[in-house]
Amino acid sequence: MIRRSDFPKDFIFGTATAAYQIEGAANEDGRGPSIWDVFSHTPGKTLNGDNGDVACDHYHRYKEDIKLMKEIGLDAYRFSISWPRVMPDGKNINQKGVDFYNRLVDELLENDIVPFITLYHWDLPYALYEKGGWLNPDIALYFRAYATFMFNELGDRVKHWITLNEPWCSSFLGYFTGEHAPGHKDLQEALIAAHNLLRAHGHAVQAFREEVKDGKVGLTNVVMKIEPGDSKPESFLVASLVDKFVNAWYHDPVVFGKYPEEAVAIYLEKGLQILDSDMNIIATPIDFFGVNYYTRTLVIFDPNNPLGFSYVQGDLPKTEMGWEIYPQGLFDMLVYLKERYRLPLYITENGMAGPDKLENGRVQDTYRIEYLEKHFEKALEAINAGVDLKGYFIWSLMDNFEWAYGYSKRFGIIYVDYNTQKRILKDSALWLKEFLKS
Ligand SMILES: N=[N+]=NCCCCNC(=O)[C@@H]1[C@H]2[C@H](O)[C@@H](O)[C@H](O)[C@@H](CO)[C@@H]12
């Protein structure tokens, strides 16, 4: 049985959340609308028309939530800042919004919980979207100004920062598949958005070096283990190509200053330009990569699909998201990232959506305990294989707004009864509390 003491002494265990998924108070104290406010209020975009207007009401209940983190014994907490709460139009300051994050950080520190801040977790101010959003090259400068302001505001107390959460989701799901805000379906736009997201990241890192001399800054990507879904040689080729588009695309430029060869061809074919000056900014050195790992993705060669491949379902046990439970993929990707980029790593998200039922005041999510144990074991195996893994944030602290799936998917180790906003520690939280003492 894995124990906390098996991990390095300074290894940190935490939980992660994101502003739009938990805060609520969407129109309170001067907060402006984000693209997710507009998207979730657009009929047909989210399950049951669910939105983040109230969510977990964390904006008002943050003290109680921090008390629960303390009770579980967590070392750290990763959360995101709502850009439109602090800059309703993307530019001018809303002091009440800024005050909330000051209170939140101070409350965490008073409870000996280390804050990790994500600057952008998908809630772009709608006012900036109206100026082109991630398609407008100037967005990188708006983001730099926002980042600079937040570094100045909180950098004296917060020393661990993440610029973007999963630019693959923001660009591919937001601009190509249309599943996420702003719901566009245009491959060329997705490529432009991806490039501008990485440019914004680079600008923020440059600002960080000026504003927070003793801090660490990184980029969090979703990292998927891409495997061939059948034994055809073409499927192995396709898997390695998809791996380049999903993984290397968002890591290579940040470390090497260039896109993977296979990807550049698509860019040039689409007539997109990649300036050397852009690549130099994107490659401003970072201190770590954040790794969001959930599952593997199986692809097969498919000549009928314009992209040349299609996804196939694997036959391993799956979570409520239909994602295979595949802890080996975590080990594989941690080792891959270490060997390719040689940077310290944090698992900034790992967890599962389960069929959580509240019965007699209890949620017996034994499956989530098993999931976490298996992924903890693979993380430890990676450390023993030489990976400089520094921490592990469970997704998520509490059940929350699961984007297009609304409130139908529960990822929390804490159950939220949305009718009463009552929080109930699931068995997984009780297990974690004991693990953290082991
Ligand atoms: N096929 N397939 N595969 C896996 C694709 C995962 C892409 N979605 C994510 O990584 C999001 C990340 C997000 O940060 C968080 O805000 C979300 O709540 C979690 C849970 O959805 C995850």
Active centre residues (catalytic): 166, 349
Cis peptide before 182 (omega within 30 of 0): yes
Residue with tokens 């984007």: 403
pLDDT of residue 307: 84
Spell out the per-residue pLDDT of the chain, length 438, in tens: 999 999 999 999 999 999 999 999 999 999 999 999 999 999 999 999 999 999 999 999 999 999 999 999 999 999 999 999 999 999 999 999 999 999 999 999 999 999 999 999 999 999 999 999 999 999 999 999 999 999 999 999 999 999 999 999 999 999 999 999 999 999 999 999 999 999 999 999 999 999 999 999 999 999 999 999 999 999 999 999 999 999 999 999 999 999 998 878 877 787 788 899 999 999 999 999 999 999 999 999 999 998 889 999 999 999 999 999 999 999 999 999 999 999 999 999 999 999 999 999 999 999 999 999 999 999 999 999 999 999 999 999 999 999 999 999 999 999 999 999 999 999 999 999 999 999
Contact (Cβ atoms closer than 8 angstroms) between residue 292 and residue 350: yes
DSSP summary character for residue 411: -
* Inter-CA distances, 129 with 51, 79, 138, Å: 19, 23, 11
What residue's CA is closest to ligand 1, atom 18?
A: 402
Taking residue 365's Cβ as centre, other Cβ atoms within 10 Å add up to 24
Q: Count Cα atoms within 13 angstroms, Cβ side, for 340.
A: 19
pTM: 0.98
Q: What amino acid is encoded at 391 in this protein?
A: G
End-to-end CA distance of the chain: 10
Tell me if 235 CB under 6 Å of ligand 1: no
pLDDT of residue 57: 99
Nearest to 215 by CA among 149, 146, 117, 292: 117
Residue with tokens 């000549």: 303
pLDDT of residue 398: 99
Report the distance separating Cα 176 and Cα 275, nearest Å. Answer: 23
Tell me if 323 CB under 6 Å of ligand 1: yes
Which of 169, 326, 350, 402 has most ligand 1 atoms within 8 Å of CB, for mutation? Answer: 169
Q: Which segments are annotated as binding site for substrate?
A: 21, 121, 165, 294, 395, 402-403
- Residues whose CB is less than 8 angstroms from the CB of residue 220 and which lie 6 or more positions away in sequence, other chains included: 118, 162, 164, 165, 166, 289, 290, 291, 292, 348, 349
Sign of the CA dihedral running 340, 172, 168, 189:
positive
List, for residues 364-417, the tens digit of each pLDDT value.
999 999 999 999 999 999 999 999 999 999 999 999 999 999 999 999 999 999
List, for residues 266-279, the tens digit of each pLDDT value.
777 877 888 999 99
pLDDT of residue 113: 98
CA of 16 to the centre of ligand 1 (A): 12
CA of 295 to the centre of ligand 1 (A): 10
